[in-house]
Structure 1
Amino acid sequence: MVNAVKRVKVAYGERNSQFGHVYLPSVPTAGPVPVIVLIHGGYWSTEFALTIETAIARDLAARGAVVWNIEYRRVGEDGGGWPRTGNDVVAAISALDAPVRYALPEEILNKIDWSKVAIIGHSAGGQLAVWATSRLGARTKKASIATVIAQAAPLDLQVRERAVRPSLRALMGGSITEVPARYADASPVDQPIFPAHVVAVHGTEDSSVPVEVSRDYVRRASTAGQSAELIEVAGEGHDVFVDPRSRGHRETVRVLGI
């Protein structure tokens, strides 16, 4: 079934990294076809690309979803860095209104419920997912975002007692004391609330981004009025979310209901 999934490359801008892969569902469905936007992680760096989400994209499409696996300008290429990296993700999500729709066969397009788009972001992609959804107010001109799944994501970029990682410093173009406004602008927990449900999914054995980060985000965001919940995946680490065989992925699928 997975081998039957069809992939189409779609550009949402003129720069080399402003594109994504649309995966078409390989199973027929009589009901609404879900739309899922995938945002890969990898330290916001060109060391990693959208292909690390290929196996996940294919699995979700095999379950009947249209999957928009996006690329964006990262640190290490022209135009990468904050806020351009984040703005690319906003543009990629907004591309659901036009270029992505144009890539869909009519028989699929007619079955989509555009009021229930889901966004999934892993690691750095989770930061981008929550930030971009907030900036969009959880909607584009023709679609509404119902769910944001932040997998093992750095959801607070202003924790001053922790040393800032070189990857985050490179994204921001300086330390938190040098460019504090950029850190505040990019930090998901400090964004305005939006009308979508955030699910933070985090492995308890994550040594890259501690599960406490997601716990704290859900506590603070919920207090502020954001719809949010936490799912802890016992015994799994940071990278399990790019493995369709993992429990972390199964928990994500359960949230999506596909």
Structure 2
Amino acid sequence: MVLCFMLSDRVAAPPVIALRAIEKWYGTRDRPVHALSATDLDVGAGELLVLLGPSGCGKTTLLRMIGGLIAPTSGHLSIVGRSLWARGERQSDALADLGMVFQDANLFPWLSIEDNISLPLELKGMSATARRTKAHDLMKLVGISGFEKRWPRELSGGMRQRAAIARALSYDPKILLMDEPFGALDAMTRDAMNLELQRLFLTTEKSIVLVTHSIAEAVFLADRIVLLSPRPGRIDQIITVPFARPRTLELQATAEFQSIVLGLRQRLTEIS
């Protein structure tokens, strides 16, 4: 079942991420593994784009190439008009526009929440007073004010992820990359974090690229969903989600929402 909707106007603007024939092979002891077929993709300014597909299809590989963590085997990748890779080397000017959040919050256990959030600013040479002010502002933004001096072990999983998001936002990147950020959370906390991410998306107007295995989460959050095929990953289809924002959890009970979820589930079954 193929779903087709009109592309949103925002995608017609110059892309903040542009992939042209990006491909990835991994060398192994036995034989090379073709992880991602040559892929073209644009992400628009102020767009929330979700990468969805079966396990092993290359979602995380693609996200990590966009984030500068893995070099592509071939092709060209630009961030806000600047090449991310040149002669196999990451380009720091393009990296400056990227923030990344993983499934594990990856907070340093020996640092307070405030110090975890402000660490990137310390590495950039910002003064202690300015760092503290910025960290407090971000903690308010993500809803964890009052926990500045707590240790990561004293926070719930959802609160640690809020701190990780605040840290990724600390140096004000234009783009936020998120790899299954809520995958380890219970269902109710995950719903709350989906609402929180939508609020941050609307408040900050960042571009976001999110990897998830949850079809319902993808439909709830995305402006567009990029459905990837099994390895070697390729774009099977791109679906534009037609729901206005802000979206409430009640949307998930509607026939239109469930129809899109069902169509994606059927397509995933067909290509898996």
TM-score normalized by the length of structure 1: 0.29
Give the greater-gyration-radius structure (CA).
2
TM-score normalized by the length of structure 2: 0.28
Structure of higher RCO (CA pairs closer than 8 Å, 6+ residues apart): 2
Structure whose residues are more often strand by fraction? 2
